[in-house]
Amino acid sequence: MAKSHTWSIYRRLRENDARATALELDRRGPKHGSKRVAQDVEFIIDESLQRYYLVRERSSFLRIWREIRAECEAKGFQPPTRRTVKARLDAMDQRDVFRKRRGAEEADKVFASRPGRLKVSAPLEVVQIDHTTADIMLVDHVNRQPLARPFLTVAIDVASRIVLGVYVTFDEPSVLSIALCLDHCVRRKSIHVPGTLEQVVWPTASIPKAIHVDNAQEFHSDAFKTACEDWGIAVEYRPLGGKHYGGHVERLIGTTMGAVHVLPGTTQSSIVEKGNYDSEKHASLTLVEFEDWLHLEICRYHNTVHEALGRTPLAAWADMGGDTAGRQVVDVEAFRTSFLPFEWRQLGRTGITLFGVHYWSGVFASLVGRGQGKVQVKYDPRDLSQVELLPICWTASGVN
């Protein structure tokens, strides 16, 4: 070591009060964080990232880097390396990047604070229900021509991640969707494997203790709230703007849609991912066929190790005593009917009228004129040939 350099180190020690950091030697080359790329190239990088990468069309990073190189070469500049462009991207606010590429809602799911945690220790303690539009085009069962995308209503047990029930329909989500999904929850289920004699067990048939739902109109309906109260089911609504409170069912829906994306006729989750794939041209499944596939897919999911549980949902359900955790429904038809929509109608000499249809039962003759007042008329929008009157619990048929 040269004598002059030794004295230089000695002076550093004295000036820095003999701290060890004074012995660190100066590194050659640019300081950490400094930029060596020409200003014109920096401008091209920034403009390209803003215009092509930080947009909802979400082009790949590799494609953007190649565009930057091509533009630099065309203007006679030294093109930046891939690492240089990636460093500029990493230096940006990642929440802002995520928001511009995927939207504010998705950014909140990843970056927003999540105070507290939903703690559930037993099956059926909390069940989350939600609707979604399936990412697939279905066909009619007669001519097998493209028809529409179906709606799914899904109920998941938070503790075990078991899917308690589902309902598939072409109709917009409604009180009926909830009624038929909950009806599926409390019924004993076994799924037949096509082409075999095998039956797959779906071991869930109990009443939830509490239901977590969003603030959609159907979850605030009198039919839903009254039926839940009658069956001793607590209803808890998500706080406004707090979509993460339904994270379990939303993740399940995301997982299910991922499986749907391999089916013929899929619409994928966005126009970009769909590309030039013609969903209507390739559509081949009817509503019933899609429902059969969905039930089998759910049974496969039940037997797949869940990352958060460290075991399969089916094993979690069994270990936690899911079969004995909830109350069984003896009269499942009464349970289903209680969740159906209803209207109040006056019982008159000609019976009752609902949606322009007249209903009569022989039992009405002894009640007319006795001050019965208005009665609650339960109906299934899919079949208006009959209605049920509560609390009388009689069935009335439509008459011409």
- Three-state helix/strand/coil letters over 65-102: HHHHHHHHHHCCCCCCCHHHHHHHHHCCCHHHHHHHHH
Question: Which of 334, 366, 390 lies at the terminal end of a domain, its last residue?
Answer: 334
* Pair 138, 185 in one domain: yes
* Pair 153, 70 in one domain: no
Kindly state whether residue 269 falls inside one of the protein's structural domains.
yes
Kindly state whether residue 189 falls inside one of the protein's structural domains.
yes
* Pair 219, 131 in one domain: yes
> In the structure, what pLDDT confidence band is assigned to residue 12 with cuts at 50, 70 and 90?
low
pLDDT tens column, 19-40: 544 455 555 555 544 456 788 8
* Pair 97, 145 in one domain: no
DSSP strand pairing (138-139 vs 146-148): antiparallel
> In the structure, what pLDDT confidence band is assigned to residue 241 with cuts at 50, 70 and 90?
low
The domain total for the chain is 3
Which whole number is the average pLDDT over 115-128?
A: 76
Which whole number is the average pLDDT over 379-395?
A: 79
Domain that holds residue 258: 127-334
Burial of 392 (0-12, 13-18, 19+ CB in 10 A): middle
More confident: 93 or 112 = 93
Question: Which of 334, 362, 382 lies at the terminal end of a domain, its last residue?
Answer: 334
How many residues can be counted in the chain?
400
CATH number at residue 321: 3.30.420.10
Least confident among 116-130, 330-344, 347-361: 116-130
Kindly state whether residue 385 falls inside one of the protein's structural domains.
yes
Q: Which residue, among 331, 322, 321, 337, has the nearest Cα to 386 in the 3D structure?
A: 337
* Pair 222, 268 in one domain: yes
b/e per residue, 83-95, with b = 16+ CB within 10 A?
A: ebbeebbeeeeee
More confident: 112 or 167 = 167
Whether residue 84 has pLDDT greater than 80? yes
- The amino acid that residue 124 corresponds to is L
pLDDT of residue 4: 62
Q: Which residue, among 148, 142, 146, 170, has the nearest Cα to 282 in the 3D structure?
A: 146
Kindly state whether residue 117 falls inside one of the protein's structural domains.
no
pLDDT tens column, 273-320: 777 888 899 999 999 999 999 999 999 999 999 888 899 999 999 999
Q: What is the Cα–Cα distance from 195 to 239, expressed in whole angstroms? A: 46
pLDDT of residue 115: 47
* Pair 296, 168 in one domain: yes
Question: Which of 290, 316, 334 lies at the terminal end of a domain, its last residue?
Answer: 334
pLDDT of residue 185: 94
The stretches of 127-237 forming alpha helices (DSSP H) are 175-186, 222-230
* Pair 106, 144 in one domain: no
* Pair 350, 315 in one domain: no
Whether residue 227 has pLDDT greater than 90? yes
Kindly state whether residue 27 falls inside one of the protein's structural domains.
no
* Pair 176, 310 in one domain: yes
Q: What is the Cα–Cα distance from 157 to 129, expressed in whole angstroms? A: 9
Kindly state whether residue 392 falls inside one of the protein's structural domains.
yes
pLDDT of residue 113: 47
Share of the chain above pLDDT 90, in %: 37
pTM over 0.95: no
Q: In whole numbers, what is the pLDDT of the chain averaged over residues?
A: 82
pLDDT of residue 116: 47
* Token representation of residue 351: 């019976």
Kindly state whether residue 157 falls inside one of the protein's structural domains.
yes
* Pair 179, 311 in one domain: yes
CATH number at residue 68: 1.10.10.60
* Pair 159, 272 in one domain: yes
* Pair 310, 388 in one domain: no
Kindly state whether residue 301 falls inside one of the protein's structural domains.
yes
